[in-house]
Homo-oligomer: A and B are copies of this chain.
Amino acid sequence: MPAINRLSTSDADFRQRLDELLAWESVSDDAVFTTVRDILADVRRRGDAAVLEYTRRFDRREVTEAADLEIPLFRLEQALTAIPAEQRKALETAAARIRRYAERQKMDSWQYTEEDGTMLGQQVTPLDRAGLYVPGGKAAYPSSVLMNAIPAKVAGVEELIMVVPTPGGEVNELVLAAAAVAGVDRVFAVGGAQAVAALAYGTETIPAVDKIVGPGNIYVATAKRMVYGTVGIDMIAGPSEILVVCDGRTDPDWIAVDLFSQAEHDEDAQSILVSPDVQFLDRVEESMERLMAEMPRAQIIRTSLEGRGALIQVRDMDEAVEVANHIAPEHLELSVEDPEAVAARIRHAGAIFMGRYTAEALGDYCAGPNHVLPTSRTARFSSPLGVYDFQKRSSLIHCSAQGASTLGRTASTLARGEGLVAHARSAEYRIK
């Protein structure tokens, strides 16, 4: 059994130990930085030729023409037909639920007219084109394709371009099937920093996009950071985290496996359980010991729990809420009697899973809300990926002659206070 950390809010050094456990800084060392910078510059300058070269080198593929990089849409449909019917149905069910939830997030334009006839408003438009990065190999998750692609299409993005590396030519059929279900418009078998560069700057074959979303390794994350400004990007995600708050009356086996489900992602993932019931913490620890044997990814789970996991004893639910708001977790499971009352007091969390039945895993796949969520305490200031990330707003101002005259006086005073005479004159021309 992993020696999972035990903390109690009554410990004198509680806050310090907790903060040490929570601490996370992604490291992109100088070597990665330099490599990525050079790849970006090269793709920007040489386009397809550079993309082909890096794909031959990094993905060990015999591609000579840029057209070879595109995976045609009929291949996506083939994949969807070829996978087991149960998987296809699961993908389609999940997609329908994700789409229904996303529809609620869609922002609409609005405007209002003032007494003097001046109209003010906000016009909402979708991005023209978005790029979706999908990792290749083991970390290729079809659910991630659905979660990133569907909000973009619901927002009205005209062209959604997916890039996915196919090392050694190996293609993940479930990923292609998910792309078909999600309505991805074009797919290129390119990965790494070269794929990010192609999407940001465009090449002869791969069109430039306005925003790049989706997870990737340290090269991809570094490349996304560097092209930010030329294009938009989503958050750079840290390791996945779950915080379970339990009153001690949920089956400890359920909670143990809920904690496992986060820990199995990778060694740096973080699973924390908070409860006022110390006997319950013991029972969950016993369940973990017993159930560990059944986990194919036991080694990853063990490392994760030992390094970053914790069972935290609190005095009462008030203190549990306080701890949760400090942690600002990506996933917060409220396995308690009255989850509504507790949720209303949560100020920071990516997603809140309420009640004993709402396993976090349901949200990962098919409940409807997005599984791309703010990590590493960034829920203090950021939100789940959503339709709104693929829309943007333009302010609308339409002054009547009277409105411009009235506003012109105020603007002129403030402009002259700031020493900006052209601003003042521009406003004053419109004063009657």
Contacts and interface: CB of A to CB of B under 8 A. Distances in A.
A309 interface: no
Interface string A347-374: 1111111110111111111111110011
Contact of A398 (B354, B374, B421, B424): B354
A125 to B, nearest CB: 5
A148 interface: no
Nearest to A416: B87
Interface in A396-432: 396-401, 403-404, 407-411, 413-415, 417-427, 429-430
Contacts of A261: 420, 422-423, 425-426
A21 interface: no
A257 B427 CA distance: 9
A393 B380 CA distance: 10
A14 interface: no
Interface string A373-396: 110101111111010000011111
A357 B400 contact: yes
A180 to B, nearest CB: 15
Interface in A116-141: 118-120, 122-123, 125, 127-128, 138, 141
A257 B297 contact: no
A210 B380 contact: yes
- Dominant secondary structure of chain A at its interface with chain B: mixed
A263 interface: yes
Given A359-B429, A394-B352, A295 B421 contact: yes
Contacts of A94: 410, 414
29 contacts: A26-B229, A89-B413, A90-B409, A90-B410, A120-B368, A128-B380, A142-B414, A210-B380, A211-B381, A232-B378, A254-B430, A257-B426, A260-B422, A296-B419, A332-B394, A348-B394, A354-B396, A354-B397, A357-B400, A357-B430, A359-B426, A361-B423, A361-B424, A364-B423, A365-B407, A365-B415, A379-B392, A381-B392, A384-B394
Instruction: Report, nearest first, the 8 A-B pairs whose CB atoms are least far apart.
Output: A232-B381, A369-B395, A357-B404, A354-B398, A260-B422, A351-B395, A90-B413, A383-B393
